Structure 1
Amino acid sequence: MLRTIRDYVDFQAAERPDAIYLIAPEPDLSMTFAGLRKSSRELARFLLGQGIRKGDKVAMLMHNGFQTCRLFIGVMYGGFCATPLNLLAHPSQLEYVLNHSDARIVFVAPDQLERLSVALANVTRDIQIVLCDVDAQEFIPVSDGSVELPPVGEEDDALMMYTSGTTGKPKGVVLANRSVVSGGQYVSAAHELGVQDRVLAILPLYHINAQIVTATSPLVHGGSLVLPHRFRVSGFWGLVAQNQCTWINVVPTMISYLLNGADPAGNGLDLSRVRFCRSASAPLPPSQHRAFEDAFRIGVIETMGLTETAAPCFTNPLDPSQRKIGSPGRAFGNDVKIVNGEGRALASGEAGEIMVRGRNVMKGYYKSPEETARTLTAEGWLHTGDLGYLDPDGFVFVTGRIKELIIKGGENIAPREIDEALLKHPAVLEAAVVGVPDEHYGQELMACIVFKPGERCTEDELRSFCRNELGAYKTPRSFRFVDELPKGPSGKVQRLKLLSMEGIPA
């Protein structure tokens, strides 16, 4: 049985050595499964030659590219723990992660070297720095081929990802080979992916969604990925058509921008090979879900996962007739239950905290046993921190985050409900609602709005619109018009940062 990243690389290289695994369109480079195995072995021997040992953390500060993907897979293949660094992180956060992670070596793109140097200024531990051009064809010196690689087991650490840390210091989520491989298996099985499938991998490889869904799952099912440097509305559909992609993996923010971009049919692009669009990492507003399907004639499969679950834990079915808009689907590969504040399991339709259990769930938080104990039960159940309920068919409906719940006059209000109402307004591109202090109600509602290009409206118009959609009680008291909303690398809005923008303690 295949249980580790190394198992899958070796298997695919033996079964389909000349099949393409990776396409990097900007430098026009590609790599076969045999090439992936060869480069992974060379990287492992290079790291061993640098004094890096099995289980050591190997950090990467690089945007998407040919070498970024090779490094990500190769580090795990060698028995080391890949630790990608968030390119959006402030230098102080990078400094914390580099200190906390015990990383022994950092691969860095030239354009990130200055940021890394600032972050390392107060790190007293010696950390090796290796410059790496993401578009280079080769960069690892050929090492002694006789060097034996350490064995790798399914419980060995493969990946450590740091959470966004919007309410405190980032936490290092430790994922074993078991977790990473299971995530790739669940994606492949849920979407019935095979050797003929090719995904446009547009999300950054320093985010769990891209790492598992678009890098690991093709390794599991023998498919391939197209990895451009970054998401661009203007070139998106061209990449899909030119590379004959059969599925695309996006986040709701991208769907929103694609809806306001050019019509691919008008440019003569053939998208007939695309089987589906997968959306994850943040809730997809039903209005945008329907608009995307109407505009592009591509069905959307909404899913949900966490860093702590190696991405996927819920997914809508592949059959369009069985999907439910507004839900990230049913548990796939996981157990799920809804519990109240005392931990008692709730019946269908009753709202509480969503909990999941499965082989993809993390080992724990690095160097944080107390936080791990609060998050993982002895029976392996993970507290997700998400609020929601199960319908009679087992579909999960997410109503919000526990820490984001707004309590106005004693009534719980899920901000997502108000977001979705505001997104129905023709001038609104993005919306995010947060609770702000109020002397009468405890909390009141503030909505932050990003307008569509060329569109505008007044506060009074939005207030009237909300009253019609939601009633007076759930209508925001105040509106802020902003150029953009603060987001994490997955495109998920970081609501609590909206409060700091207003000078309000989170």
Structure 2
Amino acid sequence: MNNQLENNLTEKIIKDETNDRWFTGSEIRSDVEIVRDELTKLHIGLGDTVLVCLPNSAAYPAITQAIWEVGANMHPIAATTPKKELQAELNDHDYVASIVKDDLVDAVIDEHLVSVSNLSLQTAPELKLIRDRHIIGHDAQIPNEDDLALIMNTSGTTGKPKRVGLTHKILVNAVKHDIKSHKMTPSDTTLLVMPMFHINAQAVSILSTRLSGGKLVIANKFSASKFWDQVRNNQVTWVSVVPTIVNILLINKKANESYSDDIKLRFVRSSSFALPMDKLTAFQTRFHTQILEGYGMTETASQCTINPFDAPKVGSAGKPFETDVRIMVDGKIADEPNQIGEIVVRGDHVISSYMDPHPESFEDGWLLTGDLGYFDEDGYLFVKDRKKDIINHGGEKVAPAQVENSLSQLDFVNEVSVVGTPDDLYGEAVTAVVITSDHQDEDLKRQRILEHAKETLAGYEQPTRVIFVNDYPRNATGKVIRLKLREQVISTLVGKGA
């Protein structure tokens, strides 16, 4: 991927929308060298892990490239990660260094013995590289294809994220498949609106664009009111989003007012959960572009299926692309169509193990996704539900146990169960179902819960609905029956017209 920089030294290849500035290959290359030289000086090299906690910016690709050039690997996490959660992450794993903005320096240092370096980059002038002196580093060395490149978090049902380790080989294979399936060329420009700690941003948008030779426009975050101006002004040809963004663009008044027919998008790529047929059709009609829906996950470094340009099937996740995707029923691969079972995958871009032991997630070379679905007679995949309890809130994966552990800290909360309930905008709402020990006003208790969540949880983990009940449906041993609880909550919401 370094070739993209060397072959475009005078060309504008990456734009930072926040600063309204394009950067040439030479300018990005200069920032790469600054970070790389500092990493080398601090004895950070082959096999070392660098934690990156930053908002979206043009500095991200430069930092990633520098980390890879010394043979280290990068673990990006959300810029909104609460300080306590950040400190827990640093204490749980051996990060030789962290790269953050000024406001997180104290949280990273905590009680560690560190050195702090200033990274004065053209793409981001005020970043800090914090070296943990307790951890022995390694010499800088060019990595091979089987060395680790990225560590990504993916939520687990226990509330503790699974760590996915992606090698250079896995990433390159995944990105090559993305380029082929999306017909990317050097003439393409993509607008990145997804957070950079997601595989969607890292692989589908950044790496595929770099390998295909296209241009990259980086927004700090998605803005409905700015979206179509960003697309028009930068001659963007495609965008990768989640269904929540599609829904927002449809209903947002400023977005609709700023759209004009001179905008020429080749396609909008949407994944995470299926769009209802009326929303997909309405978007394509209103904004004169094609939506391509697909299915993928962090463990596959991107997509497994995608709808073909010339034969999309609304409601489906498309057909397998350079990936072996099957349905497993009662422990056996089902060959007949329309059999609902667990979606299992394997391929040259699919992990064979997690960084921490999770043998239950693999069987006979297959990655067990935990998602339920089926193939129709034409070979299109339809994703129906999840075996696991993870809540999909606008593309963010929320582990109920994580939220429950936080809310249980409140003295008036006897029990709390968190479930996902249908939401037109976000796919699923994070719904806290609470049993309390007092008779305070419910509005007051709800306010205290939401305030506590804001202090202790990342933005996407915070409950969007809080419901009070006297008890839960339970089995013979007293364990909460989540599926039945979810059904009861949905029934209550429907009755109230929520």
**Shared fold by TM > 0.5?**
yes
User: Which residue of 346, 359, 377 maps to 1:392?
Assistant: 377
**Which runs of structure 2 are paired with 1:96-245 in the superposition (5 Å)?**
96-113=88-105, 116-117=107-108, 121=110, 126=113, 129-130=116-117, 136=123, 150-165=141-156, 167-245=158-236
Change beyond 3 A, Cα 1:476–1:205: closer
The answer to whether the Cα contact below 8 Å between 2:199 and 2:298 also exists between their aligned partners in 1 is: yes
Task: Determine the structure 1 residue equivalent to 2:303.
Answer: 312
Task: Determine the structure 1 residue equivalent to 2:315.
Answer: 326
Paired with 2:339 and 2:12, the residues of 1 have a C-alpha distance of: 47
**Unmatched tracts of structure 1, length 5 or more:** 1-7, 142-147, 407-414, 448-473, 485-506
Query: 1:140: Cα distance to partner?
Result: 9.0
Change beyond 3 A, Cα 1:476–1:199: same
* Letter matched to residue 478 of structure 1: T
User: Which residue of 76, 81, 84 maps to 2:76?
Assistant: 84
Change beyond 3 A, Cα 1:283–1:103: farther
Give deviations 1:269-303, integer Å, cap 9, x for gaps: 45532111111233323332122112212111111
| Larger CA deviation: 68-77 vs 390-399 | 68-77
**Which runs of structure 2 are paired with 1:52-67 in the superposition (5 Å)?**
52-67=44-59
Q: What SS class does the counterpart of residue 334 from structure 2 fall into? A: coil
Task: Determine the structure 2 residue equivalent to 1:356.
Answer: 345
Task: Determine the structure 2 residue equivalent to 1:438.
Answer: 473
Paired with 1:162 and 1:60, the residues of 2 have a C-alpha distance of: 13
Give deviations 1:5-53, integer Å, cap 9, x for gaps: xxx223x234444333211122233233344444334422220111112
Paired with 1:18 and 1:360, the residues of 2 have a C-alpha distance of: 33
Query: 1:403: Cα distance to partner?
Result: 1.6
* Letter matched to residue 328 of structure 1: A
Q: What SS class does the counterpart of residue 364 from structure 1 fall into? A: coil
Task: Determine the structure 1 residue equivalent to 2:368.
Answer: 383
Query: 1:318: Cα distance to partner?
Result: 1.8
**Which runs of structure 2 are paired with 1:241-280 in the superposition (5 Å)?**
241-262=232-253, 266-267=257-258, 269=260, 271-280=262-271
Task: Determine the structure 2 residue equivalent to 1:339.
Answer: 328
Residue 468 of structure 2 corresponds to residue 477 of structure 1: no
Paired with 1:58 and 1:51, the residues of 2 have a C-alpha distance of: 12
Paired with 2:429 and 2:306, the residues of 1 have a C-alpha distance of: 24
The answer to whether the Cα contact below 8 Å between 1:108 and 1:131 also exists between their aligned partners in 2 is: no
Q: What SS class does the counterpart of residue 193 from structure 1 fall into? A: coil
Paired with 1:214 and 1:128, the residues of 2 have a C-alpha distance of: 33
Paired with 2:44 and 2:219, the residues of 1 have a C-alpha distance of: 30
Change beyond 3 A, Cα 1:129–1:347: farther
Give deviations 1:309-338, integer Å, cap 9, x for gaps: 11211111122xx10111111111211111
| Larger CA deviation: 257-266 vs 344-353 | 257-266
Change beyond 3 A, Cα 1:341–1:33: farther
Paired with 1:481 and 1:102, the residues of 2 have a C-alpha distance of: 50
Task: Determine the structure 1 residue equivalent to 2:403.
Answer: none
Change beyond 3 A, Cα 1:98–1:302: same
The answer to whether the Cα contact below 8 Å between 2:119 and 2:125 also exists between their aligned partners in 1 is: no
- Identical-pair percentage: 30
Q: What SS class does the counterpart of residue 205 from structure 2 fall into? A: helix
Q: What SS class does the counterpart of residue 210 from structure 2 fall into? A: helix
Residue 16 of structure 2 corresponds to residue 9 of structure 1: no
* Letter matched to residue 51 of structure 2: A
**Which runs of structure 2 are paired with 1:19-58 in the superposition (5 Å)?**
19-58=11-50
Give deviations 1:196-225, integer Å, cap 9, x for gaps: 000110011111110111110011100011
The answer to whether the Cα contact below 8 Å between 1:60 and 1:85 also exists between their aligned partners in 2 is: yes
Query: 1:256: Cα distance to partner?
Result: 1.4
Task: Determine the structure 1 residue equivalent to 2:283.
Answer: 292
Query: 1:133: Cα distance to partner?
Result: 7.7
TM-score (norm 2): 0.75
The answer to whether the Cα contact below 8 Å between 2:34 and 2:119 also exists between their aligned partners in 1 is: no
* Letter matched to residue 110 of structure 1: D
| Larger CA deviation: 381-390 vs 354-363 | 354-363
The answer to whether the Cα contact below 8 Å between 1:36 and 1:70 also exists between their aligned partners in 2 is: yes
Paired with 1:364 and 1:264, the residues of 2 have a C-alpha distance of: 43
Task: Determine the structure 1 residue equivalent to 2:415.
Answer: none
The answer to whether the Cα contact below 8 Å between 2:362 and 2:368 also exists between their aligned partners in 1 is: yes
Give deviations 1:338-395, integer Å, cap 9, x for gaps: 10232443422111111111121125322x23x1x3223453x211111101112221
Paired with 1:195 and 1:33, the residues of 2 have a C-alpha distance of: 14
Change beyond 3 A, Cα 1:354–1:276: same
Task: Determine the structure 2 residue equivalent to 1:144.
Answer: none
Change beyond 3 A, Cα 1:481–1:364: farther
**Unmatched tracts of structure 2, length 5 or more:** 129-138, 392-418, 434-471
The answer to whether the Cα contact below 8 Å between 2:99 and 2:127 also exists between their aligned partners in 1 is: no
Q: What SS class does the counterpart of residue 206 from structure 1 fall into? A: coil
Give deviations 1:125-162, integer Å, cap 9, x for gaps: 64555566887455799xxxxxx951221111000011
Root-mean-square deviation (CA), in Å?
A: 3.4
Query: 1:192: Cα distance to partner?
Result: 0.3
Task: Determine the structure 1 residue equivalent to 2:398.
Answer: none
The answer to whether the Cα contact below 8 Å between 2:224 and 2:254 also exists between their aligned partners in 1 is: no
Paired with 1:481 and 1:247, the residues of 2 have a C-alpha distance of: 41
Paired with 2:117 and 2:321, the residues of 1 have a C-alpha distance of: 39
Query: 1:477: Cα distance to partner?
Result: 2.3
Change beyond 3 A, Cα 1:130–1:360: farther
TM-score (norm 1): 0.74
Please list every run of at least 4 consecutive aligned residues from structure 1 whose deviation after the TM superposition is greater than 6 angstroms. 433-436
Q: What SS class does the counterpart of residue 154 from structure 1 fall into? A: coil
Q: What SS class does the counterpart of residue 19 from structure 2 fall into? A: coil
